[in-house]
A and B are shown apart, each in its own frame.
Chain A
């Protein structure tokens, strides 16, 4: 799997584009299995870097989604409420929410696609 270079990644397996679109990674969806439920914050919610912003559930597991950076939610992908399996089919296309990024400098602390790929392969080796 090659990870798109147009965005940054977290060690908790989220991705974020420079304009503040957030989703979870291909690796995350694969580890979770069949995704059946996505719980996301309402538009206008303030999210804080490193804090839980929502939840994604597969048949077997519950996982928190963490905010890659701080910001305010401007849009939520409502399609995922009725078709959460889209995250399995195309994790990097099925975005979850959009935010206005509070402090763009926070993005610099996140992983590049190459670093994330390396991180995932090291994690799998454990």
Chain B
């Protein structure tokens, strides 16, 4: 049991919180599905584009149509290479008339910023890397709105999913509050000044205000199982510089009718041809847990693909996975094998997302 446990010691962010304070991945995951959990997601990066040609710049470097955003609205999008593969996925926030904020992934911060800067030089806009300016905290779950409303004068009931507002929060003026998240649940992400004392104070005030809702601090472990149940992609897993938009199944966030953006030409060509692989959802039939990187075999035992993310799903209480296979193996109901420690273990192709949050009554 030695080596594999040690690799977790290297995290400088909690994978999970101790059971003694209500933590553990299953407890944290369940809190977000049924109540509320909070995550320190300061590792996420932030790039701001502002100026008269900010919209044109955002349109050029991202695949969704930012011209559809009203001030105060956000959208899921992605930065693409000319080949139509992923630099990163992002959330584009339109803060004001000529003011956009891209929230990017931790592992790709420098690469993303350099890429955005290099590809927007021809536009009249300012590009700033603000990653180290913000502490980002995610408050997620059906009771997130009740919790956060206690701490801010902004009317959160008026903020729709994927919209943003500003307000005084924990005594801090003009704080950006987005109704966004990475848990497939309702929730908010707040951006406060990256000052250690202020960040700690806000974190503790959220925990205190959330006591009546049973708030639980959550780590990266639960963040991963929550996003997996909701089939939200993770860079380096479902999306990467070798996977294109069509393969990842992110068509609805890619607006080909938009005049021009980096990657468009390649995607147009790819669309005319056959897909080499497509992302599927799997549910284990036999006993076993599919993990990232495990091989997918057809019923004859031939290797046909690989698992991008696999885990027990704590809320659904099933063992689930996302995997890439050729399209002829992707039909719902197809039985495939996941190679687990040398053995082919049966799994079935199922509809995704695995979890969809219940609609409000």
Residues of A participating in the B interface, judged by any CB pair closer than 8 Å: 11-14, 24, 28, 31-34, 36-37, 39, 55-66, 81, 123, 126
Count of CB-CB pairs between chains A and B under 8 Å: 65
User: Do A59 and B312 contact each other (CB < 8 Å), given the known contacts A33-B24, A33-B221?
Assistant: yes
Q: Which residues of chain B from 110 to 154 have any CB-CB distance to chain A below 8 Å in the complex?
A: none
B26's nearest neighbour on chain A, judged by CB, is: A34
- CB of A45 to closest CB in B, whole Å: 15
User: Do A62 and B291 contact each other (CB < 8 Å), given the known contacts A34-B24, A36-B312?
Assistant: yes
Q: Which B residues are in CB contact (< 8 Å) with A14?
A: 1
Partner-contacting stretch, out of B3-11, B63-71, B162-170:
B3-11
- CB of B159 to closest CB in A, whole Å: 32
Q: Is the CB of A56 within 8 A of B16?
A: no
User: Do A64 and B221 contact each other (CB < 8 Å), given the known contacts A34-B25, A59-B311?
Assistant: no
Q: Which B residues are in CB contact (< 8 Å) with A31?
A: 5, 8
B288's nearest neighbour on chain A, judged by CB, is: A37
Assembled-state Cα–Cα distance A37/B289 (Å): 8
B313's nearest neighbour on chain A, judged by CB, is: A59
Q: Would you list 7 pairs from A and B whose C-beta atoms are within 8 A, ordered by A residue?
A: A34-B25, A36-B289, A37-B288, A58-B25, A60-B221, A61-B8, A63-B1
- CB of A124 to closest CB in B, whole Å: 8
Assembled-state Cα–Cα distance A13/B5 (Å): 10
Q: Which B residues are in CB contact (< 8 Å) with A11?
A: 2
Q: Is the CB of A32 within 8 A of B312?
A: no
A124's nearest neighbour on chain B, judged by CB, is: B9
Assembled-state Cα–Cα distance A126/B291 (Å): 28
User: Do A24 and B312 contact each other (CB < 8 Å), given the known contacts A31-B8, A61-B8?
Assistant: no
B225 lies within 8 A of chain A by Cβ: yes
User: Do A65 and B289 contact each other (CB < 8 Å), given the known contacts A31-B8, A60-B15, A60-B16?
Assistant: no
Q: Which B residues are in CB contact (< 8 Å) with A56?
A: 1
Assembled-state Cα–Cα distance A34/B26 (Å): 7
B269 lies within 8 A of chain A by Cβ: no
Assembled-state Cα–Cα distance A59/B229 (Å): 13
Q: Which A residues are in CB contact (< 8 Å) with B6?
A: 123
- CB of B218 to closest CB in A, whole Å: 13
Q: Is the CB of B9 within 8 A of A63?
A: no
Q: Is the CB of B312 within 8 A of A28?
A: no
- CB of A126 to closest CB in B, whole Å: 7
B341 lies within 8 A of chain A by Cβ: yes
B230 lies within 8 A of chain A by Cβ: no
Q: Which B residues are in CB contact (< 8 Å) with A59?
A: 25-26, 221, 225, 311-312, 314
Q: Which B residues are in CB contact (< 8 Å) with A24?
A: 1
The contact of A33 among B16, B224, B289, B341, by CB within 8 Å, is B16
